[in-house]
Amino acid sequence: MDHSLLASIGLTQGESKVYLALLRLGPTKTGPLAASAGVSSSKVYKILDRLEKKGLAGHAIKQKTKFYRAVEPRRILDYLEEKEEDLALKRQTLSSIIPQLEKEQNLEKAKDEAVVFDGFKAVTNFFRNILDELKPGDSYYVIGGSYGQEAPGLKAFFQNFHTQRADRRIKVNMLANFNVKGFMVPATQSNSDIRFLPEYITTDMQITFYKDKSFIIIWTKNPKGFLIHSEEAVKSFRSYFDALWKTAKP
């Protein structure tokens, strides 16, 4: 069995290897276990200690020697349930202190600053902020709407995002690239006003703006974004948007 499957549920690579080796060997001493798992003898004790704390391994002493064994594989479900309960508690705690954290945030210093965001998670978090910061009836604007080189999961993300956006009655006014006409995720059409730029303007760069925030994104396989906090920048992009809107086609 591929140990990475266990790693995907939260076990480290070493824990996954040792747990699988315990299943194969049955009750065993650390020497054979380390050899079978492919980990060093010096590390196997620490790994076993973590597995025991997670409830995934146990030991018995026979003739003053420790023999380790794996717990039944179905107990991994118990481990996951405990993790979910712990995560839910942490989420509840964080939700209760977010207002305090927001009071600590110095928004004045953030204005007129530019910040670079690197990677899919960092870039898409900007769109999550749209859902948090705009109210029903509010709008935001997009110039150059596209999927670029289609980073893995990008279309699925936007289907989910636009579904939530429409449910919250937030409108998007979009100047989309010519090459996405007919290929946009369905939820984009909800509560939106979309026109398409001429083919010669097509680019992987997208500008999304609202209030005092402008976000310039390059949709490559590893997306990058450039966030500007500036009302003046938003006004400039809005003028550019209005000029292009007149020549764009539905």
Structural domains in the chain, CATH included, are 4-70 (1.10.10.10), 112-247 (3.30.870.10)
Between CA 75 and CA 148 the distance in angstroms is 44
Amino acid at 51: L
Closest CA to 214 of 236, 239, 189: 236
CA–centroid distance for 18 within its chain: 29
Q: Which 3 state secondary structure label does DSSP give 209?
A: strand
Amino acid at 134: L
Can you tell me the mean pLDDT for 103-121? 68
* pLDDT bucket at 105, cuts 50 / 70 / 90: low
User: Which pLDDT value is given to residue 104?
Assistant: 60
**Could you tell me the pTM of the whole model?**
0.62
- pLDDT digit string, tens, across residues 167-201: 999 999 999 999 999 999 999 999 999 999 998 88
141 vs 72, more confident: 141
> Could you tell me if 51 and 19 are in contact, meaning their C-beta atoms sit under 8 angstroms apart?
yes
CA-based angle 48:53:55, to the nearest 5?
95
Tokens of 76: 């991994």
